[in-house]
């Protein structure tokens, strides 16, 4: 439960997923220089978080500690946010912040197609909706970047 709740962050009194994502963002930003220099550093971090999330989610369900997506389980948010950073390449501070906002919007609102992944069986559905939110967040940030480069958002 300690790993799945990111060191008990998942037991925050409110906005547990946001709290888990925020802690992940702080840790990821602190490790940014190492992850930006390492070959596939962001993908490795996202992959480790995703595998750990899947494993802990399956354990929580099998041991009776959880049904569905338990509110205390925020390691899936960590995997989703790190996946979004991996999709951005070598993110800078502004991208960390934009990724946080985009990921939380898609993860909380769960628009189609994000919502369709929640229903997958076992621990897969717990993780899959967060990975879908990461893809949608990366798409959104890519569109914003494209519009900025075209000059649509000039001061």
pLDDT in single tens digits along all 155 residues of the chain: 888 889 999 999 999 999 999 999 999 999 999 998 887 899 999 999 999 998 888 888 888 877 777 889 999 999 999 999 999 998 999 999 999 999 999 999 999 999 999 888 878 888 999 999 999 999 999 999 999 889 887 75
Token reading at 4: 């799945």
Rounded Cα distance between 5 and 58, Å, is: 14
Measured at the CA of 140, the angle between CA 88 and CA 92, to 5 degrees, comes to 35
Assign residue 70 a region (left: φ > 0; alpha: ψ between -120 and 50; beta: otherwise). Answer: beta
As a whole number of angstroms, the distance between CA 144 and CA 112 comes to 20
What is the pLDDT, as a whole number, of residue 28? 94
How many angstroms separate the CA atoms of 78 and 32, rounded?
15
């Amino acid at each position: 439960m300690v790993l799945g709740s990111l060191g008990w962050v998942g037991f925050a009194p409110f906005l547990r997923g946001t709290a888990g994502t925020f802690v992940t963002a702080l840790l990821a930003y602190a490790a940014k220089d190492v992850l930006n220099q390492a070959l596939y550093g962001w993908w490795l971090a996202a992959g480790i978080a995703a595998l750990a999330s899947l494993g802990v989610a399956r354990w929580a369900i099998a041991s009776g500690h959880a049904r569905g997506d338990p509110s205390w389980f925020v390691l899936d948010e960590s995997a989703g946010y790190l996946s979004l950073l991996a999709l951005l390449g070598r993110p800078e501070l502004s991208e960390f912040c934009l990724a946080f906002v985009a990921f939380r919007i898609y993860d909380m609102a769960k628009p189609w197609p994000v919502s369709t992944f929640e229903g997958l069986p076992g621990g897969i559905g717990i993780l899959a909706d967060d990975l879908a939110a990461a893809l949608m967040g990366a798409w959104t940030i890519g569109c914003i970047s494209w519009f900025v480069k075209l000059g649509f958002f000039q001061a």
